[in-house]
Amino acid sequence: MLCRVELNLRFPCLSAEEAIAVGEVAGCVVVSREEGRITFDCPSCDAFKRCALAKSVNGERIRKERPTIERSVKTLDAITARLMVNLARVVRGSKVWEPFLGTGAVAYEVERAGGYVVGGDLDESALRLARRNTSGDIVLWDALHPPLRGRLDAAVGDPPYGRLSTSSIDVRPLLLSFVEVASLHVKKGGYLVFASPVYVDLPFVKSCMMFLHGGLYRVVYVMKV
């Protein structure tokens, strides 16, 4: 079955990467790629309905459902949370490490995709909200010293930075340490997906820019272990 996925031209890099990731876990093959559209050969086109950025599939507009979670000013927006989970190739049964859990926006999307979250944060008030937003394993922890056993399928996180950060480490060394630690806990072939402010440059990891508003941008990194 041919599935023509119309991409979001505001986020062309991320939209294409997400569609390819979703197609990969759905058993699809890329047939053609052109500006603003990717055509796949798939068993079913339904998988693309989980996309956060894609506009439509075979002309049918993708509905963006709003999550029913408890939020705070630190809560990651639902579109970015779902996008990152999709980029990490999370499917039913996936075990996912969320090192910077916050109030659980990413964890909520992991569970929507059928995955299971092991997560933590240093912010106790955020964790109290997270416990109402996810049923995963949640603990108060330092992301660089997680109490993990065995290997997980993916790691997804939006690290703390700026005035809302509770971390005592600058974001670039924090991310470099996270990549090192996560590589020890994620299975070979699994994915690390994380975000950062635009001034952090990790040239050894594949990335896409996300325009937010004004002069603000976010960078989303995707790394295969």
HEC letters along 65-109 = CCCCCCCCCCCCCHHHHHHHHHHCCCCCCCEEEECCCCCCHHHHH
User: What number of residues does the chain have?
Assistant: 225
Closest CA to 141 of 167, 164, 165: 167
Q: Is the pLDDT of residue 55 over 90?
A: yes
Q: Which CATH architecture has domain 2-61?
A: 2-Layer Sandwich (3.30)
* Superfamily of structural domain 78-224: Vaccinia Virus protein VP39 (3.40.50.150)
Q: Residue ranges per domain, the chain?
A: 2-61, 78-224
Question: What are the structure tokens assigned to 119, written together?
Answer: 């997560």
pLDDT, mean over the chain = 90
Question: What are the structure tokens assigned to 81, written together?
Answer: 């949370």
Write down the pTM of the prediction.
0.92
Tens of pLDDT along 108-149?
A: 999 999 999 999 888 888 889 999 999 999 888 887 788 777
**Whole-Å CA distances, 25 to 29, 42, 43:** 10, 11, 11
Tens of pLDDT along 69-107?
A: 777 766 889 999 999 999 999 999 999 999 999 999 999
